[in-house]
Amino acid sequence: MNFYTDNESLSFYLHHPEMAEIATLRENNFAEAGQHPEAPANADEAIEQYDSVMRLLGEITADIVAPNAESVDHEGPHIENGRVVYAKGTQQNLQTMIRAGLYGMTLERKYNGLNFPRVLAVMAGETIARADVGFATIWGLQDCADTIQQFASQELKDKYLPRIYGGATCSMDLTEPDAGSDLQSVRLRATFDEAANCWRLNGVKRFITNGDADLHLVLARSEEGSTDGRGLSYFIFDRADGGLTVRRIENKMGIKGSPTAELVFTNAPAYLVGERRLGLIKYVMSLMNAARLGVGSQAIGLCEAACREAEAYAASRQQFGHPINEFIAVQDLLRAMRARTDAARSLMYETARMVDRSASSKPAARVADILTPLVKLMASEFSCRNAYDCIQVHGGSGFMKEYACERLYRDSRVLSIYEGTSQLQVVAAIKGIANGSYLKRIEEYDQQVAAMTLNEQQQAILATLRHATEGYRALYEKATSNGTTDALFEHAARALTETLAYTIMGYLLLMDSTRSDRYLDSADYTARQAVAESASAMAMIA
């Protein structure tokens, strides 16, 4: 098996019409890229490189990561001599990825990275998460390299980035016992040690994913007497320098292979990333956007895994002399699961393309900013629904640990919680709702579709999406009719957010269907959901 080549959607998005331009932009963004011996000669050669690496990754995830998932779930990590020890399967996964040269996907080549665009990073994350979401969380934290690459001094880049390509694991240490989503309340102290020419970290971090990693990005209070986000700075800490104790590993419901730790820093030496006082305001916000795309990719990978488990079981399970996939009720479940997966994936790759364009386009950066919370919200919620429906298709068997769907169900639940809960994603979307950015983007998608040649079924889907758009417009006007956005926060925020998300995903799938008719059914389902969501939302705020 190969988890890349057996999934037509991945090749479909890798060969999207915009990918040639994105590949060219990626190479042109780094002056040395054209002189590097491994740099592709043109966009076509770059996409061939992407395809080759994804084929290798797809083979490893199918042959090694997926077979290890069950044993990793049972064994989990443990503490030994003050250090976290991964489950045996996790260790094998990591070593295989390192030997294959698959770390540092988005790093510049001068740091030994592959210099791939964000589209490839999320595609890799999705593929790995289909095999094991727990391992995907460890893998995905290499996104810390992007923050170092973008904001750290040249000295820190030269010291740490080649290590990440070499397989050094990473963590981002943000949360504390009294500072979860409210990161302005972080209290871990950072004081400058003039004699050693470094900062010293003292305090506790909690719920830190991959908490005993080799390299840590740590949010700490550098300004004495401060109490808000303006007193926080960002630091890099090397586990090899000492000063860190792992107090415990949390006993979690799911993603058991990924160690979630409570950490105690005691005079731990660390180095400032970027400028003081910008830790939360600038650097964490940048990292969190990347992390939310990463969680979205994990959620889509789990959606895909749940679909395949349900489809395979429904095809083989006989009841009343027929396979259960012949029954309408089961067909409805399978159709909804596949449509959710397609919809979330269409939104994910649209957002990733905008992120890749954002380095040279402010309009693309603005679109990426408004789409990112939608990806995190919808993909994570869909993963929970797909995992639930996967068990439902299995019936009583799905409640048994011998079936993978039970693990998928447990693993899915955290996806709508970490890196910002679904509720926080709705809050993040409020500004774009209130200022009309989402409505403008929907209208732009409508113009793009209107310029395409559509068949009769596609025209019907477009009519449904336009109906949903008018429903969203009416919702927006009603929620803001008193001249303020108070109603958005009080009654309509979630309803409006989900309505616009379904509408946007419907348009994206409709455009995808002009390149492949396999997306027609999902586009139709998603468009109808957009209309249903707008009607339900209007009833809620009437």
Model confidence over 192-250: pLDDT tens digits? Answer: 999 999 999 999 999 999 999 999 999 999 999 999 999 999 999 999 999 999 999 99
Q: What is the pLDDT of residue 477?
A: 83
Q: Is the pLDDT of residue 486 over 90?
A: no
Instruction: Among 131-140, 266-275, 420-429, 482-491, name the one with the lowest average pLDDT.
Output: 482-491
* 3 state SS of 307: helix
**Distance (Å, whole) CA 235 – CA 200:** 10
Dump pLDDT digits (tens) for 338-374: 999 999 999 999 999 999 999 889 999 999 999 999 9
pLDDT band of 539, cuts 50, 70, 90: confident
Position 182 confidence tier, pLDDT thresholds 50, 70, 90:
confident
Average pLDDT of every residue of the chain: 94
Q: Rounded distance, CA 257 to CA 131, Å?
A: 12
421-457 pLDDT tens trace:
999 999 999 889 989 999 999 999 999 999 999 999 9
Question: Given a cut of 80, is residue 483 above it in pLDDT?
Answer: no
pLDDT score, position 434: 87
DSSP single-letter state for residue 283? I
Q: What angle do CA 136, 125, 380 make, to 5 degrees?
A: 80
Provide the terminal-to-terminal Cα distance of the chain, rounded to the nearest Å: 52
Q: What are phi and psi of 266, to 5 degrees?
A: -130, 105
Q: How many helices (H) and strands (E) does the chain have?
A: 19, 11
pLDDT at 369: 95
The contacts of residue 139 (CB under 8 Å, 6+ apart) are: 97, 124, 125, 128
List, for residues 113-168, the tens digit of each pLDDT value: 999 999 999 999 999 999 999 999 999 999 999 999 999 999 999 999 999 999 99
Angle at alpha carbon of residue 488, lines to 482 and 491, rounded to 5°: 105
Tokens of residue 189, six digits: 């102290």
- pLDDT at site 287: 85
Task: Give the three-class secondary structure for 237.
Answer: strand
Q: Which of 218, 112, 237 is nearest to 164 (CA)?
A: 112
Q: Hey, which residues does 261 pair with through a beta bridge? A: 208, 249
Q: 49: how many CB neighbours lie within 10 A of its CB?
A: 17
From the number of C-beta atoms within 10 Å of its C-beta (0-12, 13-18, 19+), residue 110 rates as: middle
* Predicted pLDDT at 33: 47
pTM score > 0.85 for this model? yes
**pLDDT over 90 percentage in the chain:** 83
pLDDT of residue 292: 94
Most confident segment among 64-68, 179-183, 400-404: 64-68
pLDDT band at 537 (very low <50, low <70, confident <90, very high): confident
Helix, coil or strand: residue 249: strand
- Asked if residue 457 lies in contact with residue 520, where contact means CB atoms within 8 angstroms, the answer is yes
Q: Is the pLDDT of residue 466 over 70?
A: yes
* Res. 32: pLDDT tops 60: no
Q: Which element (helix H / strand E) includes 171?
A: strand 170-173
Tens-place pLDDT, residues 66-101: 999 999 999 999 999 889 999 999 999 999 999 999
Written in H, E and C, the secondary structure of 122-148 is HHHHHHHHHHCHHHHHHHHHHHHHHHH
| Residues 6+ positions from 525 with CB-CB distance below 8 Å | 335, 336, 339
Q: What is the pLDDT of residue 475?
A: 84
